[in-house]
């Protein structure tokens, strides 16, 4: 913990800003709904697309609901679903990558071939096909998001793992008679954590953008649930007047994704250069 | 130039290159300033070659680069440097930086990496002349071909149209010298130009370099860690240690009457002698026998040959507690021998016997006990030790794996092991990246020792180390063998190292064993022609060695395309016999010295 | 090797490129199987869905037979594949028109948008990438780094929303809907495309610029660059004559990658600006669950991606003397 705080202190300004944003959104995702002034679904203001006021910090939306309350609950969906999806994607992708790196050659061939196939379907197209086929309930949506980014994570993790598995210290452990599980988990995995975390962070950003994009198109989270992308979509009619109801959630997404990007960039650069 | 009189040493009035109080500082990771070159002064008269010698971290390359006003990674150069009319802080064309590639040129250590892979060699060789406007395109090309010829490059007229990947390391190194000489510079800097080459190639390149340097009357700076190489190339030697000058004098004076302790240490380490007396290994049935091994990489065809065969029919025996050296140049297959014995590479033919019992070809079919008895140690401790684990974890795992020892007992054994390799027990909690190169190599050895093996396969374990550290590791290996009775298969490209440590030596050439026998038999001929080439190519610590070596006789016979069962050395052999060597496979001859050689020539012929 | 006759000299790269072509076709075949499996086999019964909950099992069985759903999956896949390759992916379930006809109306629009965006963003990306690389670690590089980092992370709809707010709502310069008139004048053409191209370009410039920087920096760290500097080569000559020729491979690959990213971005951009392209068509197909149309769109996007990668690979092979000589 101490070393984490020290590492955070050493971050450049952009990294500190990123860290601040990331921490802020994690806190919002956890505590947001408890501090929301109104239930997200209730109509509390006569005026639609109202501006900022003392009662409604971020104004009201196209139905007169409180934008701040809806944003707080939407952020939980966006951050939560994306985090779960990226965890699933990374576990599957990295798990398979380790199998490919220490397993027999044919397994590597099969896995790499299949992942190369999946990666040649652009991720948004792939997600659209999956949504069309399976619909977008919360569980399915999370799985779709995860599945879409398994091949990318696999590719990065495999190239890391294969590179490491060729190193002499793995060769020594192999010559000692160690099993494949030991090689994968004890010799290889610990040394790929840093670049892997950077990749997971980037993939989290992609997933947030994909989820928001899908919801913005009406293909993501379905009402009454709403993530940040849905909030942008439902308030598009307020665009002409520049309503806070559309600007706020869009800026919220951007501050989350930009924050993660800044943090990763600062954290990885400190070691690389 | 007015300030010069105050600092310049008096004896350097007419010097061509003058360096006074040079300091180079870099910013350390923690932000503090670190002085990597500290108050260095020297002068080089026109037409002389000065050698900068030292171990890694001595600052020798940094000094050489600062002569071009160049510093790596944001280092700061302070002090006064003058080359001809140009000075470090001179303006416009009078600055050192403006003379880069023009009046001052550079030959880098690894030509294979220093050539641009996507451009033809000729374009790159004449580029300095063109960008500095010292010659027209046609003149530069003509001059380049002359230089190619002077450097004894094959096909001087055509070689320039090749790409770097089509040429060998030795050829590229000479082409880089041509690139450095194309502008007829006043000062040429050679930065370890032969370190990456095989010893047999090194001789040719050194001879070519010395010829052109003398012909051109160039002033030179020769950076090297190898005193014997420097003795051939330089007029004066400057010995460096941690950025400071230890001694500078004429070559002969430094070699014969060194004034400084550090110089003496370097000289002693250049020719390793192991002090620990090891009793002669017990005779009787060998501990390990390798019989008729063939191995290679890539898919194996129906006749059991690998797509890229590396070893063909290699046999050798290691007695209990014996040390057997395997030498050969890069690509000879010497490391493959260790990989086959360790089970990392399954041979396509032949058997490996441990105590007379055949070992399974692949790892997974060997018992844990068999695995324990044979341990392997790799060359580069930086990649042989897992950076994620502490020293204690690395050693402890071996104890737990083979003997099931853990907890307190394991910690005690780890401390014992560390003591065995002369490291303090506190090292156990450290990670390897906190240790020095020599310490890491000791840990690398300790991991093998932790298994209490009968045989350790040492794959170039001293090659990445500085000479002084290398000598200490060799001494340690000898002591361990004396105290523990462990046997070694010691693989190296350096015959001096192998001679210091081993009882028996096997010479590999292109995957075949051309000579084997007791180490003492390698002190004098008769040798196999390849062994002869290998031994005579090792530079000696005297200034006239390179002249004495003379030019080797060229190969006698063109080898047929399909070498088949013929002698592998035929294409390079200076004593091949027409009608015999190119028609029949060579016989294995037993020599009186105890050595067995694979050659058509008789003992008397080989001795002469 | 270099002495070989000119004809033989090209045999090596030709074989390499041929290998890549075969590999790409094979991958496309696998992709088609994946897409058909996901959209044609897994979702359950299309007949059931068309007829709704109230249909009797006889009605469903009849429709299943009519639609060929009662035949084995492999047969259905092969027929579908043959139809796609033949250029006739069947009838749209919703528009009741041949899919081929709908797509042929829309595809040129998306290609125009993609081409304009490429034309607009690639020069900027090179500018950003090269500037950043040569000023590595200095203020310019750090500023560009943070700027591009932010641009990569912005959702397209935020960029589009801000663009509409600024250029359509406040300044009234540009239309918020992209309608290209018949036979447009160059002015009308530019006005119509300005906003979608800008919005798409933001992401492409940032992403491609970052990858170009990375490719150049990877080369700048190699020993031959230091050697060139020690030869007295100027910075400009170093970048253009020494470094870029070696970075061609990674850079063209980065370009293929960002162009495929562009298709993803087009999904949002076409929808926001109500632009009648292939991507917005695909979104409609998802909403209306029009599977034949969806499958055809997906296959076009995947084939385009593979084609781009293939072109990039070929360029990389031809740019590398080691590969070029086989």
Q: What is the pLDDT of residues B16-47, one digit of tens each?
A: 899 999 999 988 777 788 899 999 999 999 88
Contact A98, A189 (CB under 8 A): yes
Contact yes or no for C2 and B161 at CB 8 A: yes
Domain match, B132 and B216 both: yes
Match 């550079």 to its residue by tokens: B106
Domain match, B14 and B55 both: yes
C235 to chain B, any CB pair closer than 8 A? The answer is no
Domain match, B400 and B514 both: yes
Contact yes or no for C302 and A212 at CB 8 A: no
Average pLDDT, chain C: 85
Assign B290 a pLDDT band (cuts: 50, 70, 90).
very high
- pLDDT score of B1 more than 50: no
Residue B179's pLDDT is what? 94
Interface mutation vs chain B, best among A172, A180, A185, A189, most B CBs within 10 Å: A172
pLDDT in tens, A215-261: 998 888 888 888 888 888 888 887 777 778 888 888 899 999 999 98
Chain A: partners with 3+ C-beta pairs within 8 Å: B, C
Interface mutation vs chain C, best among B75, B106, B118, most C CBs within 10 Å: B118
State the smallest CA–CA distance between residue B74 and chain A in angstroms: 13
Chain A CB contacts of C152 below 8 Å: 261
Domain match, B362 and B411 both: yes
Contact yes or no for C230 and B158 at CB 8 A: no
State the smallest CA–CA distance between residue B556 and chain C in angstroms: 25
- What residues does B51 pair with on adjacent strands? B222, B237
C138 to chain B, any CB pair closer than 8 A? The answer is no
CB atoms within 10 A of CB B6: 8
State the smallest CA–CA distance between residue B7 and chain C in angstroms: 28
Within-domain flag for A51 = no
- pLDDT score of B599 more than 50: yes
Assign C8 a pLDDT band (cuts: 50, 70, 90).
low
* Distance linking the first and last C-alpha atoms of chain C: 10
Q: What is the arithmetic mean of pLDDT over B132-153?
A: 92
Within-domain flag for A74 = yes
Within-domain flag for A67 = yes
Q: Out of A143-157, B233-247, B576-590, which region has the weakest mean confidence (pLDDT)?
A: B576-590
Assign B556 a pLDDT band (cuts: 50, 70, 90).
low
Residue B81's pLDDT is what? 92
Average pLDDT, chain B: 88
Cβ pairs bridging A and C (under 8 Å): 139
Chain A CB contacts of B431 below 8 Å: none
Q: In angstroms, rounded to a whole number, what is the distance separating the alpha carbons of residues B501 and B322?
A: 10
Q: What is the arithmetic mean of pLDDT over C114-118?
A: 92
The residues spanned by each domain of chain C are 6-41+72-324
Domain match, B221 and B307 both: no
Of the candidates B116, B132, B161, the beta carbon closest to that of C232 is on B132
Q: In angstroms, rounded to a whole number, what is the distance separating the alpha carbons of residues B544 and B98?
A: 37
Chain A CB contacts of B385 below 8 Å: 169
Contact yes or no for B384 and A168 at CB 8 A: yes
C71 to chain B, any CB pair closer than 8 A? The answer is no
Nearest residue to B221 via CA among B8, B464, B19: B19
Interface mutation vs chain A, best among B339, B388, B401, B459, most A CBs within 10 Å: B388
DSSP string for residues in B513-570: EEEEEEGGGGGSS---HHHHHHHHTS--SSTTHHHHH-PPPPPSSPPPS--TTS-TTG
pLDDT in tens, C229-276: 999 999 999 999 999 999 999 999 999 888 878 888 888 888 888 888
Q: Tokens for B227?
A: 């005193």
Residue A270's pLDDT is what? 55
The interface residues of chain B toward chain C in range 50-79, judged by CB-CB distance below 8 A, are: 65, 68, 70, 72
- Whole-model pTM: value is 0.86
pLDDT in tens, B80-92: 999 988 888 877 7
Contact yes or no for B344 and A171 at CB 8 A: yes
Distances (CA, A) of A111 to A102, A103, A106, A163, A185: 13, 11, 9, 17, 19
Q: How many domains does chain B have?
A: 3
Of the candidates C31, C149, C154, the beta carbon closest to that of A120 is on C31
Domain match, B507 and B550 both: no
Domain match, B316 and B371 both: yes
Contact yes or no for C153 and A217 at CB 8 A: no
State the smallest CA–CA distance between residue B540 and chain A in angstroms: 34
Contact yes or no for A168 and B380 at CB 8 A: yes
Chain B CB contacts of C224 below 8 Å: 113-117
Average pLDDT, chain A: 86
Contact yes or no for C153 and A209 at CB 8 A: yes
Q: How many domains does chain A have?
A: 1
Contact yes or no for A175 and B363 at CB 8 A: yes
Residue of A nearest to C309 (CA): A120
Contact yes or no for A190 and B366 at CB 8 A: no
Contact yes or no for C224 and B115 at CB 8 A: yes
Q: Name the E strands within B160-254.
A: 187-191, 219-224, 236-241, 244-250
Q: Tokens for A136?
A: 């977008």
Q: What is the arithmetic mean of pLDDT over B463-492?
A: 90
Of the candidates B379, B383, B451, the beta carbon closest to that of A169 is on B383
Q: Print the domain residue range for B130.
A: 2-270
- pLDDT score of B551 more than 80: no
The interface residues of chain C toward chain B in range 303-322, judged by CB-CB distance below 8 A, are: 319-322
Domain match, B34 and B176 both: yes
Q: What is the arithmetic mean of pLDDT over B250-275?
A: 87
Residue of C nearest to A260 (CA): C153
Assign B305 a pLDDT band (cuts: 50, 70, 90).
confident
Contact yes or no for B114 and C232 at CB 8 A: no
Of the candidates B378, B388, B451, the beta carbon closest to that of A168 is on B378
Q: In angstroms, rounded to a whole number, what is the distance separating the alpha carbons of residues B135 and B231?
A: 34
State the smallest CA–CA distance between residue B217 and chain A in angstroms: 43
Contact yes or no for B128 and C319 at CB 8 A: no
Contact yes or no for C263 and A125 at CB 8 A: yes
Residue B560's pLDDT is what? 63
Residue A177 C-beta-side C-alpha neighbours within 13 Å: 20
Residue B9's pLDDT is what? 42
**Percentage of chain B lying above the pLDDT 90 cut:** 50
Contact yes or no for C246 and B118 at CB 8 A: yes
Domain match, B297 and B408 both: yes
Alpha helices in C135-243 (DSSP H): 139-153, 156-163, 186-220, 223-230, 235-237
Q: What is the arithmetic mean of pLDDT over B497-526?
A: 91
Give me the CATH number covering residue B23.
3.40.50.300
Q: In angstroms, rounded to a whole number, what is the distance separating the alpha carbons of residues A225 and A209?
A: 18
State the smallest CA–CA distance between residue B99 and chain C in angstroms: 7
Within-domain flag for A33 = no
Contact yes or no for A174 and B388 at CB 8 A: no
Assign A271 a pLDDT band (cuts: 50, 70, 90).
very low
Q: In angstroms, rounded to a whole number, what is the distance separating the alpha carbons of residues C102 and B558?
A: 71
Q: Out of A62-71, A118-127, B314-323, B424-433, which region has the weakest mean confidence (pLDDT)?
A: A62-71
Q: Print the domain residue range for A237.
A: 14-27+59-257
- pLDDT score of B4 more than 50: no
Q: What is the arithmetic mean of pLDDT over A73-98?
A: 93
Domain match, B478 and B575 both: no
Match 């002064």 to its residue by tokens: B41
Contact yes or no for A169 and B384 at CB 8 A: yes
Q: What is the arithmetic mean of pLDDT over B263-285?
A: 78
Residue A272's pLDDT is what? 41
- pLDDT score of B414 more than 50: yes
Within-domain flag for B40 = yes
Residue B215's pLDDT is what? 86
Please give the backbone phi and psi of residue C88, each rounded to the nearest 5 degrees, phi first: -135, 85
Within-domain flag for B282 = no
State the smallest CA–CA distance between residue C273 and chain B in angstroms: 45
Within-domain flag for A47 = no
The topology under which CATH files domain C6-41+72-324 is MetI-like fold (1.10.3720)
Give me the CATH number covering residue A187.
1.10.3720.10
Nearest residue to B566 via CA among B552, B580, B546, B549: B580
Query: Hey, is B313 helix, strand or coil?
Result: strand
B117 to chain C, any CB pair closer than 8 A? The answer is yes
Contact yes or no for B384 and A177 at CB 8 A: no
Contact yes or no for C146 and A262 at CB 8 A: yes
Within-domain flag for A35 = no
- pLDDT score of B516 more than 90: yes
- pLDDT score of C70 more than 60: yes
Residue of B nearest to A10 (CA): B30
Q: What is the arithmetic mean of pLDDT over B7-19?
A: 62
Residue C7's pLDDT is what? 56
Nearest 5°: the CA angle A158, A164, A170 is: 125
Within-domain flag for B298 = yes
Assign B3 a pLDDT band (cuts: 50, 70, 90).
very low
Residue C10's pLDDT is what? 67
Q: Which residues of A touch B (CB under 8 A)?
A: 167-169, 171-172, 174-178, 187, 190-191
């Amino acid at each position: 913990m101490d070393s984490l705080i020290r590492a955070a202190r050493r971050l450049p300004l952009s990294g500190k800003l990123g860290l601040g944003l990331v921490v802020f959104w994690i806190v919002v995702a956890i505590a947001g709904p408890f501090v929301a002034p109104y239930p997200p679904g209730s109509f509390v203001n006569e005026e639609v697309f109202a501006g900022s006021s003392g009662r409604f910090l971020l104004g009201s939306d196209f139905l007169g609901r409180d934008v701040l309350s809806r944003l707080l609950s939407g952020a939980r969906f966006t951050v939560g679903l994306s985090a779960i999806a990226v965890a699933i994607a990374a576990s599957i992708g990295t798990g398979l990558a380790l199998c490919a790196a220490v397993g027999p050659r044919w397994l590597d061939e099969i896995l790499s071939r299949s992942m190369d196939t999946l990666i040649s379907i652009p991720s948004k197209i792939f997600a659209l096909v999956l949504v069309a086929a399976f619909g977008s309930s919360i569980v399915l949506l999370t799985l779709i998001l995860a599945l879409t980014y398994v091949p990318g994570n696999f590719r990065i993790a495999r190239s890391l793992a294969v590179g490491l598995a060729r190193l002499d210290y793995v060769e020594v452990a192999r010559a000692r008679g160690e099993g494949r599980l030991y090689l994968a988990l004890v010799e290889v995995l610990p040394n790929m954590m840093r670049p892997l975390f950077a990749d997971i962070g980037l993939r989290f950003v992609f997933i947030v953008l994909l989820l928001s994009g899908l919801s913005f198109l009406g293909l993501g989270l379905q009402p009454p649930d709403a993530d940040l992308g849905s909030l942008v979509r439902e308030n598009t009619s307020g665009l002409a007047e520049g309503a806070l109801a559309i600007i706020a959630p869009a800026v919220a997404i951007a501050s989350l994704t930009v924050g993660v990007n800044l943090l990763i960039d600062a954290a990885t650069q400190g070691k690389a250069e | 130039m007015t300030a010069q009189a105050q600092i310049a040493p008096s004896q350097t009035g007419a010097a061509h290159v003058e360096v006074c109080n040079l300091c180079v500082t870099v910013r350390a990771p923690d932000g503090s300033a670190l002085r990597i070159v500290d108050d260095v002064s020297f002068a080089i008269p026109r037409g002389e070659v000065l050698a900068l010698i030292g171990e890694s971290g001595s600052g020798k390359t940094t000094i050489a680069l600062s002569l071009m006003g160049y510093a790596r990674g944001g280092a700061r150069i302070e002090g006064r440097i003058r080359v001809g009319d140009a000075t470090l802080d001179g303006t416009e064309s009078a600055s050192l930086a403006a003379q880069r590639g023009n009046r001052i040129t550079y030959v880098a250590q690894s030509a294979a990496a220093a050539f641009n892979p996507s451009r033809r060699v000729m374009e790159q060789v004449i580029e300095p002349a063109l960008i500095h406007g010292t010659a027209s395109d046609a003149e530069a090309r003509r001059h380049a071909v002359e230089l190619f010829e002077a450097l004894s490059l094959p096909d001087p007229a055509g070689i320039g149209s090749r790409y770097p990947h089509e040429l060998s390391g030795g050829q590229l190194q000479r082409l880089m010298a041509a690139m450095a000489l194309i502008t007829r510079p006043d000062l040429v800097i050679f930065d370890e130009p032969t370190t990456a080459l095989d010893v047999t190639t090194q001789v040719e390149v050194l001879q070519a370099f010395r010829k052109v340097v003398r012909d051109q009357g160039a002033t030179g700076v020769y950076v090297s860690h190898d005193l014997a190489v420097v003795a051939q190339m330089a007029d004066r030697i400057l010995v460096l240690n941690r950025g400071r000058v230890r001694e500078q004098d004429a070559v002969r004076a430094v070699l014969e009457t060194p004034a400084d302790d550090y110089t003496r240490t370097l000289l002693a380490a250049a020719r390793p002698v192991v002090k620990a007396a090891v009793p002669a290994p017990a005779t009787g049935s060998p501990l390990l026998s390798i019989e008729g091994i063939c191995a290679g990489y890539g898919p194996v065809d129906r006749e059991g040959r690998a797509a890229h065969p590396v070893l063909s029919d290699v046999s050798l025996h290691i007695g209990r507690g014996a040390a057997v050296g395997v030498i050969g140049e890069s690509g000879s297959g010497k490391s493959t021998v260790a990989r086959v014995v360790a089970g990392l590479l399954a041979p396509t033919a032949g058997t490996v016997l441990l105590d007379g019992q055949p070992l399974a070809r692949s790892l997974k079919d060997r018992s844990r006990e068999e695995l324990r008895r044979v341990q392997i140690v790799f060359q580069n401790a930086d990649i042989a030790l897992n950076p994620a684990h502490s020293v204690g974890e690395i050693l402890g795992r071996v104890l737990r794996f083979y003997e099931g020892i853990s907890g307190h007992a394991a910690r005690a054994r780890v401390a014992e092991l560390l003591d065995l390799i002369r490291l303090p027990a506190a090292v156990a909690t450290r990670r390897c990246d906190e240790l020095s190169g020599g310490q890491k190599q000791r840990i690398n050895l300790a991991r093998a020792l932790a298994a209490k093996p009968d045989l350790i396969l040492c794959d170039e374990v001293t090659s990445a180390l500085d000479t002084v550290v290398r000598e200490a590791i060799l001494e340690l290996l000898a002591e361990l063998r004396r105290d523990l009775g462990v046997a070694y298969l010691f693989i190296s490209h350096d015959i001096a190292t192998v001679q210091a440590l081993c009882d028996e030596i096997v010479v590999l050439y292109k995957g075949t064993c051309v000579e084997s026998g007791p180490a003492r038999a390698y002190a004098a001929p008769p040798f196999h022609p390849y062994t002869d080439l290998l031994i005579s190519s090792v530079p000696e610590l005297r200034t006239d060695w390179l002249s004495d070596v003379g030019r080797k006789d060229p190969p006698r016979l063109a080898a047929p395309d399909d070498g088949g069962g013929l002698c592998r050395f035929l294409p390079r052999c200076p004593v091949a016999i027409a009608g015999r060597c190119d028609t029949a496979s060579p016989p294995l001859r037993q020599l009186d010295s105890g050595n067995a050689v694979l050659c058509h020539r008789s003992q008397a012929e080989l001795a002469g | 090797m270099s002495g070989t006759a000119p004809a033989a000299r090209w045999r090596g790269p030709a074989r390499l490129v041929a290998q890549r072509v075969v590999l790409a076709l094979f991958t496309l075949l696998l992709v088609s199987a994946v897409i058909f499996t996901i959209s044609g086999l897994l979702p359950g019964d299309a007949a059931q869905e068309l007829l709704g909950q109230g249909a009797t099992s006889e009605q469903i069985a009849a429709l299943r037979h009519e639609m060929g759903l009662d035949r084995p999956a492999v047969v259905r896949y092969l027929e579908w594949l043959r139809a796609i390759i033949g250029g006739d992916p069947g009838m749209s379930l919703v528009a009741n028109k041949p899919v081929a006809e709908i797509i042929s109306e829309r595809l040129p629009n998306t290609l125009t948008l993609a081409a304009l965006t490429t034309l607009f963003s690639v020069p900027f990306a090179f500018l950003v990438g090269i500037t950043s690389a040569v000023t590595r670690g200095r203020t310019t590089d750090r500023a560009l780094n943070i700027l591009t980092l932010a641009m990569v992370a912005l959702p397209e709809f935020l960029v589009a929303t801000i663009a509409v707010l600024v250029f359509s709502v406040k300044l009234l310069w540009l239309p918020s809907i992209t309608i290209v008139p018949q036979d447009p004048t160059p002015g009308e053409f530019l006005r119509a495309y300005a906003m979608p191209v800008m919005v798409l370009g933001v992401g492409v410039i940032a992403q491609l610029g970052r990858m170009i920087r990375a490719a150049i920096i990877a080369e700048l760290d190699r020993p031959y660059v230091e050697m060139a500097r020690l030869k007295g080569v100027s910075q400009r000559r170093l970048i253009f004559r020494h470094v870029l020729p070696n970075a061609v491979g990674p850079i063209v690959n980065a370009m293929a990658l960002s162009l495929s990213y562009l298709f993803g971005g087009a999904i949002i951009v076409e929808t926001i600006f109500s632009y009648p392209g292939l991507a917005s068509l695909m979104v409609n197909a998802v909403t209306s669950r029009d599977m034949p149309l969806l499958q055809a769109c997906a296959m076009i996007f995947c084939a385009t991606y593979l084609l781009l990668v293939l072109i990039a690979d070929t360029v990389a092979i031809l740019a590398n003397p080691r590969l070029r000589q086989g």
